[in-house]
Amino acid sequence: MEIGIHVHDLNAWFGKTQALYNIALEIPAKHTTAIIGPSGCGKSTFVRCLNRMHETVPQATVKGKVTIADLDVYGKGISPVWIRRRVGMVFQKPNPFPTMSIYDNVAAGLKLNGVRNRRQLDEVVERSLRSAALWEEVKDILKKKSGASLSGGQQQRLCIARALAVEPDVLLMDEPASALDPISTAKIEDLIFELKEKYTVVIVTHNMQQAARVAEYTAFFLMGNLVEFDKTETMFTKPSDKKTEDYITGRFG
């Protein structure tokens, strides 16, 4: 099977506090991988290391190796800006740009990187909104309404469309449905199911049922360590580590 992301000996710190310890992991391409674990275990920090968002926090540091396709993420002379164009990210709380229209929100990644071609932008906006299952709901108000005027679930799908518009290889999702109601959550989950046809998806989630529903592979993190990584089915039926079993059966966390 093709490997989408190689992680080798990854360590991360906030100031002097170490948040990740020697993470080694091979995330399969064009599949969905869920990252589960209790609060504060380093799930979010881990995905933020994959697109170099971790280093935007003051005093945060990283050591180790991450390779996406042939790209050495922490290689010398590699710009984080370039990495982030190939590795899209969807955050926990929907964060559309409040002063931009729906259209401009989706087009932002291209427009602010210098794409001016109207026809190209129109195409990308429509395709991205269709991929994010939002097109039908917003096609008549694209340039009339601000991104902030949509409902929470629509805003989150708008953020997914915005991330898809720059055509990344990888899509990182940091608890994308935790601020949404069950119906919006279901829509996002259906969407993730379709997205993995084209993208390598990594999703952080608190919700183990969600991991079971959307992901073929699951990684369990605990206190900054990777405890176990396997097929989701195996993880949830016969985990090889006692700690995984305890967490999944609800004995702690």
Partner 1 sequence: MPRPSTQNISWRRRFVNFLAIAAVTGATLVVMAPLIIILGTIIVRGIGGLHWSFFTQIPKPTGEIGGGMANAIAGSAMVLLVASAIGIPLGVGAGIFVAEYGRNFYGNIVRFTADVLNGIPSIVIGVTAYALVVVTQGHFSLLAGGVALGIMMIPTICRTTEEVLLMVPQSIREAALGLGIPQWRTTLSVVVRTATSGIVTSIMLAFARVAGETAPLMFTALGNQFWNLNLNQPTAALPLQIFTYSRSPYDDEIQLAWTGALVLIAMIIGTVVLVKFATSRGMMKGAR
Chain contacts with partner 1 (rule: CB under 8 A): 51, 53, 56, 58, 81-86, 88-89, 91, 93, 95-101, 108-109, 112-113, 144-146, 148-149, 159, 162-163, 166
> From residue 54, how far is each of 89, 156, 173, 200, 249 by CA, in Å?
12, 21, 14, 20, 31
Cβ of 34: how many Cβ atoms within 10 Å? 27
Encoded tokens for 4: 């989408």
The residue among 200, 215, 134 whose CA lies nearest residue 168 is 200
* Residue placing its CB nearer to partner 1 in the complex, 64 or 80: 80
Least separation in angstroms between CB 170 and partner 1:
12
Please state, in angstroms and rounded to a whole number, the distance separating the CA atoms of residues 160 and 43. 20
Least separation in angstroms between CB 43 and partner 1:
16
* Residue placing its CB nearer to partner 1 in the complex, 125 or 208: 125
Least separation in angstroms between CB 155 and partner 1:
11
**Sheet containing 60-68: which strands, arranged edge to edge?**
17-28, 3-14, 60-68, 71-72
Least separation in angstroms between CB 100 and partner 1:
7
* Residue placing its CB nearer to partner 1 in the complex, 26 or 55: 55
Least separation in angstroms between CB 87 and partner 1:
9
* Residue placing its CB nearer to partner 1 in the complex, 113 or 249: 113
**Sheet containing 225-231: which strands, arranged edge to edge?**
87-90, 170-174, 200-204, 32-36, 217-222, 225-231
* Residue placing its CB nearer to partner 1 in the complex, 53 or 226: 53
